[in-house]
Structure 1
Amino acid sequence: MFLSRPNVAVSIYGGILSKKNLFSLALKMSSKTASASPYFQDVKRLTRSQAKLILGSQDQPSVVSSSRTSATETRKPQISKLKRPHVPVRYESRTTSRPPPKKVLSNSAKPSKPRKATLKFDPEADMKTDDANADKQKDEDFKEKSQAKGWEPVRWKETLDFIREMRKEKDAPVDSMGAEKIGDHDAAPEVFRYHVLLSLLLSSQTKDQVTSAAMMALRNHGCTVDNILKTSDQKIGELIYPVGFWKKKIDYIKRTSQVLKDKYNGDIPATLEGLVKLPGIGPKMAHIIMDVGWNKVTGIGVDTHVHRITNRLKWVKKPTTVPEDTRKGLEDWLPRELWSEVNVLLVGFGQQTCLPVNPRCSECLCKDLCPYGRSALRYGSPKRKEASPKKK
C-alpha cells in the first residue's frame, strides 16, 4: 500500500517516487496480479455463486478450467460447509409430526347461531290482529260469493243502506241547493232546463251556497236566454260574483246562450253529445242535466265527493285518479236503477260525514265495512289532505 502526498509518494520499499512513476508502477502490478489469478481468468464465464463454491471448497485455489461444466463436475461443493456457523444443521426428517393448524373462519364465514326469540305479550296488539283477521275472513267470504256472478265490491249493499240511514234527514247543502232545487219549477220547461244548465256551469270549483246565491241573483234579474244575451258582461259579473273563475264563466254563459238561441230555439240539447259540445259543460254536468232536465239516466255524475268516497270504499277494481275513470268503474257493476240516486246520496254524505280532511269515521255507520275507516280508526287518519281528482 502507498502513502501519498500532493507531489510525492513513499513505497513500501522506502523509495521516493514521483506521481508519474507511481501511476505506471500501480498499473503494472494490477495487470500482473489479474493475469496470475485463476479467479479473474474464469469469472467472466462463471456466475458469482459458482465461483464462491469453487474457491470456498479449496484451501489453495487451483487453476479453474475454462469450461463451466468441467469446473462444476470435478468438485462437488459440500453443503454443510456453506451453512452459516450460528445456524444449526436441520435434520432432513422429523420423527414426530405436528397437527395441521386449524382454519380460522372470518366473521362473514362463521355460521351464526340462531337467536332464541323472546315472546312479548301485547294484549292490545293481539286484539287488533284478531279484528283484522276477522275482517279479512269476512271479506274473503263475500268475495267468493261475488266472484260467481261477476266482480262487485264486498258488502256494498250493506254499505249503501248505512249511507241511506245517515242521509235520511236530507239536510245536506246539496238537498236544498242542488241543481234540482235551484231552478224555477213554475217557469216554462225550457226555462227550467236553462236554469239547471247554468247552475251546473257555475257549480264547478264553487260551494253550493255560493252557487245558489248567484243563481238567485240571475233569476231575479231575469234568467232567460234572450235576457242574458242582452245583459252586459259587467252586469253578469256583478250577479255571479264570487263564484270560482267568475270571469271565465261570464264568457261561457254568453257563448252557451248564443248557441242555444241559434241551434236549439232557446232550449238545451236533448242528447249527451250535444251538451258536451257546449262551452264549459263536461261529462259530469251533462249526465246530471240529462237526468234532472230531461228525466233520462245516461250515466252517473261523478264530482269530487263521489270520486273520493268511491275510492275510500273501494267501489272500483283499481284506485282511480280521474272522475271519468271513477264513473266507468262504478257503472260496470252498480245496477242502473241506482245511478240517479247515488250522486245526490254520496255528495251529501261527503259534505256531512266523509269529509276530505278529518273525516268523521268514528260517527260513521260504515266504519266496520269501509277499508279507509277501519284503517283510520286503528292507525289514525292521514295528516295531509288527499290529492284532489285530476280533470280529464
Structure 2
Amino acid sequence: MGTPLASREAQTEEVIERLYEEYPDTTISLNFSNRLELLVAVILSAQCTDERVNTETEHLFEKYQSVEDYAEADEAELAEDLNSITYYNNKAGYIKNACQQMLDDHDGEVPDTMAALTDLPGVGRKTANVVLQHGHEVVEGIVVDTHVQRLTRRLGITEEKRPEAIEADLMPLVPEDDWQQFTHLLISHGRAVCTARNPDCADCALEDICPSSKLDSDTDLASGEAW
C-alpha cells in the first residue's frame, strides 16, 4: 500500500505531474468533425465505450448530417441505427428531442453555455463539459466520467461518490489550466493501468503514493470496498 502525500493539494499536484510524463499526448478519443457530431457522440458514450461509439458513428454521421436530420428522423429508425449502443432506445429519444430543442431555441446551433446545454434532453454536466471544452474551447469545469470517479477515490483525492460532488471537490484542487487535461490523463491511466478490476499496481507510476495499492495489502480492489 502506498503512502499519499500530506495534503490533498500536494497529492493532486503530484498525480498530475506524473501522469503528464506518462501520457503527454492524451486527448479525447471520440471521433467527430463538428459540434453536432461531438454532442451526439458524447450522449452515446454514456455507459458505452468510446471504441464502440466510434464504430457506430462512422455510418451514423453519414446518414444524419444536420440538426434537422435528427429532429425529423423516425425515432424507431434512429434507435435501430444505434442498436449496438447501450440504452439505444433512450439515447435515440434524447438525440432527436435535443436536436428539436436546438432548432426551436438556438437557431439549430449547439449551445455554448452550461445552462443551455444541460437544459437539453440527455445532457448533464459531464456531457456539457465535454461539448464546451472540445466544441467551443470553453472550460467551465472538470469532466467526471467513470475513470475519474474511480481513480480520484482510489488515489485519496476525494471521498465524494456522486459525479457532480466529485467535480465540485476537484475544481479547487486542480489548477484551472489543467481542468481539461486532468480528465484525459485519468482516463488514459484508467484504461491502461488502473482498470476497474485487477489494476496493474506493480507497473503503476503512482503506486508509491496510492493508498489503494494492492501491493503488500489484502485489500480486494475489485470489490470496490476500498473506495
Question: Same fold by TM-score, threshold 0.5 exceeded?
Answer: yes
What CA distance in whole angstroms lies between the structure 1 residues aligned with 2:49 and 2:28? 13
Distance 1:365 1:268, change over 3 A: same
Give structure 2 stretches of 5+ with no counterpart. none
1:75-118 Cα offsets, whole Å, 9 max, x none, are xxxxxxxxxxxxxxxxxxxxxxxxxxxxxxxxxxxxxxxxxxxx
What CA distance in whole angstroms lies between the structure 1 residues aligned with 2:221 and 2:212? 14
Query: Partner residue of 1:330?
Result: 170
Query: Partner residue of 1:183?
Result: 32
Query: Partner residue of 2:161?
Result: 321
Query: What is the aligned counterpart of 1:385 among 218, 223, 227?
Result: 223
Distance 1:312 1:386, change over 3 A: same
What CA distance in whole angstroms lies between the structure 2 residues aligned with 1:169 and 1:298? 22
Distance 1:311 1:277, change over 3 A: same
Does structure 2 retain, via aligned residues, the 8 Å contact 1:354–1:361?
yes
Q: What is the aligned-residue identity percentage?
A: 25
Specify the SS of the correspondent of 1:359. Answer: coil
What CA distance in whole angstroms lies between the structure 1 residues aligned with 2:115 and 2:70? 24
Normalised to the residue count of structure 1, the TM-score between the two structures is 0.54
The higher-RCO structure (CA 8 Å, 6+ apart) is 2
Does structure 1 retain, via aligned residues, the 8 Å contact 2:126–2:144?
yes
1:383 Cα deviation (Å)? 5.9
What CA distance in whole angstroms lies between the structure 2 residues aligned with 1:381 and 1:360? 14
1:347 is aligned to 2:203? no
1:208 is aligned to 2:35? no
Q: Residue type of the partner of 2:184?
A: V
Q: Residue type of the partner of 2:220?
A: P
Distance 1:358 1:164, change over 3 A: same
1:4-50 Cα offsets, whole Å, 9 max, x none, are xxxxxxxxxxxxxxxxxxxxxxxxxxxxxxxxxxxxxxxxxxxxxxx
1:384 Cα deviation (Å)? 4.0
Larger Rg belongs to: 1
What CA distance in whole angstroms lies between the structure 2 residues aligned with 1:306 and 1:228? 31
Does structure 2 retain, via aligned residues, the 8 Å contact 1:276–1:283?
yes
- Tell me how large the CA RMSD over aligned residues is: 2.2
Q: Show the 5 A alignment for 1:66-85.
A: none
Specify the SS of the correspondent of 1:378. Answer: coil
Give structure 1 stretches of 5+ with no counterpart. 1-130, 144-151, 185-191
Q: Residue type of the partner of 2:190?
A: G
1:286 Cα deviation (Å)? 0.9
Normalised to the residue count of structure 2, the TM-score between the two structures is 0.91
1:176 Cα deviation (Å)? 6.8
Does structure 2 retain, via aligned residues, the 8 Å contact 1:356–1:385?
no
1:49-84 Cα offsets, whole Å, 9 max, x none, are xxxxxxxxxxxxxxxxxxxxxxxxxxxxxxxxxxxx
Does structure 2 retain, via aligned residues, the 8 Å contact 1:153–1:314?
no
